[in-house]
Structure 1
Amino acid sequence: MSLIRNVGTIGGLTAVSRVFGFARDILLARALGAGLAADAFQLAFTLPNTFRRLFAEGAFSVAFVPLYSRALHGRDGEPGSEEAATAFANDVLSVFVWVLLAFTGVCMLFMPGIVWLLAREYASVPGKFELSVFLARVTFPYLGLISLVAMLSGLLNARSRFGPGAAAPILLNIFLISGIIIGDRLRGDSSNDVVVVNALAIAVALSGAAQLAYLAWATRRAGVRLKVTLPRFTPEVKRLGMLILPATFGAGIYQISQLVDTFFATSLPQGSLTLLKLADRLNQMPLGIVGIALGTAILPMLSRHIHTGDNAEAQRLQGNAFEIATLLTLPAAAALAVCAPAFCTAFFVGGKFTPADGALMASIVVALVAGLPAYVIVKVLNPGFFAREDTRTPVWTALASLIFNIALNLYVVGRYGIVGLAGATAASASLNCVLLYIMLHRRGWFRFTAKLFSRVARQLIATGAMTAVLWYLMPLMADRYAGNLFEKVWSLAVLVGVGGAVFFGVAFAVGALDKDLLGQLRRRKPVRTKADDEILEVE
């Protein structure tokens, strides 16, 4: 299966999940607004969700997939086998399950202390701290369940079965939407938001169980039979543990920054954390669809090329992924920045979510999307290290970026509030991106070719043209974004349609679109290279 097809599979299913997630956030904003209960739930959901991205989908996946792929496909002339791969997966699972149980139990026991470390200001608001602790304890088992989901997803990804892992998050959003609707029905005509957030917290935990059941079924369908036994710390399991420790930091700069942002956001006026999280969901739409899809798709493929000594194909694969990343994220970032007031007003304002909330959320979106291309490109650059089992280098780049982020937050949060905090996050992600590329370039693992530079420059020209047109159109329909449903739909449709037409029209005219790539995307079968049938011949 080609890189483009893999990205399409992951990105398409992720897009479905993001649409459900977007609907979830619209319902959440209108049902709760940006108040006490909303902040408490956002903090409670942030804890397992951040640890899930940091450990399970971040550190664990980038360490597990190359080792499992090596056991399955072989390395340096040594043959791999199903037996070796299954034995390795069983050993990892048998250790992983007990570690997760212990970690989850300890965190639930000491949850008041964890919440205090992240949101000590909540203790000054009657009932807010206690509600946050309760909701966090209800949602935290989700971490253990979804971590097992991440392991099974990585196993399937190594076998080029990307669909189940990409589809699983859809279940989370379906459960959360159901939780909002049920909670809203249960509270009736009262304004008791606690009923809604309690239903949401239960829905989070139940969604983890549903996702695990689905991935277990998909794994068995793929012919892999796993079982939990007494833990055995084999040499390969120990090696995985040694790779996970630095990868936890290296792969998770965005998640660690999220915890830092949460800490600073909880010290700001009530509702700040909720507005930041809702704004970040808009930012996460292209990040999840493009960045996660690219990073997930290229890691096992890159590992295979590197393990077989085909460095030229490895460099070309990353180059192709970089070009796809910028082609999709540069216009997305510019369009979100210009149209943020329209999107926030049309989608979110209503119910308990006020116009003032919408205006502040729009400003946060503008600050966040300044770093959107960097967020996505990091997903493309990190596999260049992880596929070579180098998890140390990203640690140092992440550490530098995190220190920069904290220092910048200390300066801007007091002066510019939640908007300054969002801007600091974008700046630190951009620094991390630059440092990662410098290290890859110096080692000869990935270099920016003249052709790639030319293509990105032309993409910037097309993005600039689109931005100018959207900047002109936005105020012409300002009264329509808060109008009735029909007015909202047609005004946003005009923005999206005109913006897309201008970008792709100019991109085609100036040569920002690779005609060979477009031709191959229209074919039913991917074009095969001599070295591997998984890479499209786009250069």
Structure 2
Amino acid sequence: MLKNILNIGAWTILSRITGFARDAMTAALLGSGPAAEAFFVASRLPNSFRAIFGEGAFNTAFVPAYVRVHQQEGNEAARIFQGRIVSLLLISQVILLGLVLLFTPQFIGLTAPGFEGERYDLAVVFTRITFPYLLLITLAALYSGVLNSIGRFTAAAAAPILLNIPMILALACYRLFPTPAYAATWGFVISGVLQLGFILWAASRAHVLARPQAISLDKPVRAFFRALGPATIGSMGTQIAVFADTIIASQLLAGAVAALYYADRINQLPLGIIGIAAGTVLLPEMSRLLAAGKPDAAHAAQRRAIFLTWLMAAPFLAGFAAVPDLIMRALFMRGAFTAEAANASAAALLAYGVGLPAVVLIRSATASFYSRGNTATPLWASLTALTINVLLKIALTGSMQQAGLALATSIGAWINLILLIVLASRRGYMALDGRLWRMLACIAAATIVMAEAMYMVSEELQPYTAMLPRFQEIARLAVTGTIGALAYGVVVLLAFRFAGLNFKSALRR
């Protein structure tokens, strides 16, 4: 499991590096003005639907179903099942695309009601360009799920790199487009074509590329639909919260949408590298073990995934808590991205950090249910958290602006995780033993020490890095992060020894 998580994580790191280059260019060329906010809304909309119909509900229901058919009925039955699902996916996506393209002005009016004038007009134009991306990336997500089901994780982990490279090239050639925002928009769509092509090639090489089949509501397809309904509503819960962010932020001070976007890009780093990687590996692993009648082994795999996830994600929490302003200034403050924009994004990043532990662990917690074909229970947990989340967004934005939206998201994530753990434990779907709790406590102690070390080092370095006016923020962040990481590693090892735990053993099992 560790090997697969690290494999996905390594490719995701490369994706995030190219993603940072893309975001840095976007910040420098677009800043946080009307064109930037219009592009962020236009690109967020297909990505939100992707999370519902792609990696979210669709793969949540599809992967365990595909694993069961493959194990119980063989390759040919799995190929036919996959082809029928591909047909259903194509039909649903073409209908959705047609509706959005036909009613784009009304769609923007609903999702960004605060947009007027230039922001509104650009958002309509950009959404009509970007929305076909959803069809392409949803198909890519389905074939990625098939590859993950058979233990081929590399292609799906590497594909997002092809999101970033076309956008980087398009932004580098922005003079060929009417504006840099148009360049980013077309680069976004081209990336969908490249990602789908790459995944189809990988699936073909792995001999799991099934063509669309005639739709038939046989037993596997009916079982898939029974799981899909609750999973779709559950995935919509998270995305409704995202839509709520967009709706509310569009009515706040100018730049709020952009501030949330840039903060979320940094917040997504540990989620993509660690949380999603662990969940991607864990779901098919637990599905296989449970199908083989080995629930104790499935619970052990889940405990290990939780430990590895929190071990690797905790340093990000320390950084978000200790130096959010330094992070945003060092990474983005150049060109059209001003110090004011950096401060607004830093406030949102700090608020997102409050929920980071919960956000990265939710995928591992939901695997308890999804691996058993139970998509209804995570649905109710998600909807409960969503209700509280949206109410908090309304209550907190008045005084906290975009940071209130981010804080509400964090609180909602904690409520979701706690509900999932309690419900799974009561049903025997999860077994969190004392050893795991001691390991998590050791990591928490090291996180606190790392945050304190980063804060103090950052303050002490300021007079010295001032001698490097163009690179002072980058230099401060590099040194601060290095010293913080060293402190984290040392304290983790010492805490494990003090608690009577073997760190190497924890990594292996």
TM-score band, normalised by shorter chain: over 0.9
Paired with 1:173 and 1:90, the residues of 2 have a C-alpha distance of 30
Structure 1's 489 and 339: CA in aligned 2 closer, same or farther, altered over 3 A? Answer: same
1:510 aligns with 2:495: yes
Q: Is the 8 A contact 1:291 1:325 kept in 2?
A: yes
Q: Tell me if 1:109 matches 2:94.
A: no
1:20-419 correspondence runs (5 A) = 20-74=18-72, 80-123=73-116, 126-183=117-174, 185-186=175-176, 195-419=179-403
Distance 1:137 1:315 in 2: 45
Q: Secondary structure at the match of 1:478?
A: helix
| Superposed displacement of residue 429, structure 1 | 0.6
Aligned equivalents of 1:8, 1:255: Cα separation in 2: 28
| Displacement of 1:519 | 6.5
Q: 1:252 to 1:313 in 2, by over 3 A?
A: farther
3-state SS of the aligned residue for 2:173? helix
Q: Kindly indicate whether residue 483 of structure 2 is the aligned counterpart of residue 498 of structure 1.
A: yes
**TM-score, length basis structure 1:** 0.91
What whole-Å deviation, never above 9, does each CA across 1:268-287 have from its counterpart, x for those lacking one? 11111011011011111111
Shift of 1:238: 2.9
Amino acid at match of 2:354: A
Q: Does the residue aligned with 1:227 lie in a helix, a strand or coil?
A: coil
Per-residue Cα deviation, 1:113-137 (whole angstroms, up to 9, x for no partner): 11111111112xx222111011011
Contact 1:286 1:329 in 2 (8 A): yes
- Going from structure 1 to structure 2, the CA distance change for 1:16 and 1:253 (only over 3 Å counts) comes to farther
Which has the higher mean CA deviation after the structures are superposed, 378-387 or 245-254?
A: 245-254
CA distance in 2, matches of 1:416, 1:32: 25
Give, in angstroms, the shift of residue 473 of structure 1: 1.3
**Aligned equivalents of 2:226, 2:42: Cα separation in 1:** 30
CA distance in 1, matches of 2:11, 2:479: 26
Q: Secondary structure at the match of 1:400?
A: helix
Alignment-mate amino acid for residue 52 of structure 1: R
Native 8 Å contact 1:295 1:380 kept in 2: yes
Percent identity reads 34
Partner of 1:447: 431
| Stretch deviating more after TM superposition (21-30 or 478-487) | 478-487
| Whole-Å separation in 1 of the counterparts to 2:502 and 2:260 | 41
Paired residue type of 2:165: I
Larger mean Cα displacement after TM superposition, 383-392 or 482-491: 482-491
Would the aligned equivalents of 2:322 and 2:452 in 1 still touch at CA under 8 Å? Answer: no
Letter in 1 for 2:167: L
| More divergent stretch after superposition (506-515 vs 323-332) | 506-515
| CA 412–346 in structure 1, closer or farther in 2 if over 3 Å, else same | same
State how far apart, in whole Å, the 2-side matches of 1:130 and 1:454 are. 55
Q: Distance in 2 between matches of 1:31 and 1:318?
A: 43
Instruction: Tell me how far 1:229 sits from its aligned partner.
Output: 3.9
* 1:403/1:28 CA distance change after superposition, 3 Å: same
- What is the CA-CA distance between 1:484 and the residue it aligns to? 4.0
1:445 CA displacement: 1.2
The one-letter code sitting in structure 1 at the alignment partner of 2:260 is: L
Alignment-mate amino acid for residue 477 of structure 2: L
Look up the SS of the partner of 1:390 in the other structure. Answer: coil
**How far is the alpha carbon of 1:288 from its aligned partner?**
0.6
Whole-Å separation in 2 of the counterparts to 1:308 and 1:340: 46
Task: State the Cα distance separating 1:13 from its structure 2 match.
Answer: 0.7
State the distance in 1 between where 2:285 and 2:142 align. Answer: 18
Question: How far, CA to CA, are the matches of 2:236 and 2:14 in structure 1?
Answer: 24
Aligned AA (1:454): R
Alpha-carbon deviation of 1:483?
4.5
1:69-117 CA-to-partner distances (Å, cap 9, x unmatched) read: 111112xxxxx31111111111111222122111111122112111111
The 8 Å contact of residues 65 and 223 in structure 2, kept in 1 or not, is answered as no
Change (3 A) 1:492 1:351: same
Give per-residue Cα distances to partners, 1:50-70, cap 9 Å, x unaligned: 111122111011110011111
Aligned counterparts of 1:481 and 1:233: Cα–Cα separation in 2: 67
Q: How many residues align?
A: 507
Q: Is the 8 A contact 2:234 2:378 kept in 1?
A: yes
Give 1:166 deviation, angstroms.
Answer: 0.7
Structure 1 residue 236: Cα displacement: 2.1
Range with bigger deviation, 476-485 or 238-247: 476-485
1:306-334 Cα deviation digits (max 9, x unpaired): 11221101111111111112112222212
Root-mean-square deviation (CA, aligned residues, Å) is 1.9
Matched, 1:6 2:4: yes
- What letter is aligned with 1:42? F
How far 1:406 sits from its partner (Å)? 1.1
Structure 2 counterpart of 1:213, one-letter code: G
Is the Cα–Cα contact under 8 Å of residues 482 and 488 in structure 1 kept in the other structure?
no
- Asked if 2 retains the 8 angstrom alpha-carbon contact of 1:254 and 1:429, the reply is no
Gaps of 5+ in 1: 75-79, 188-193, 522-535
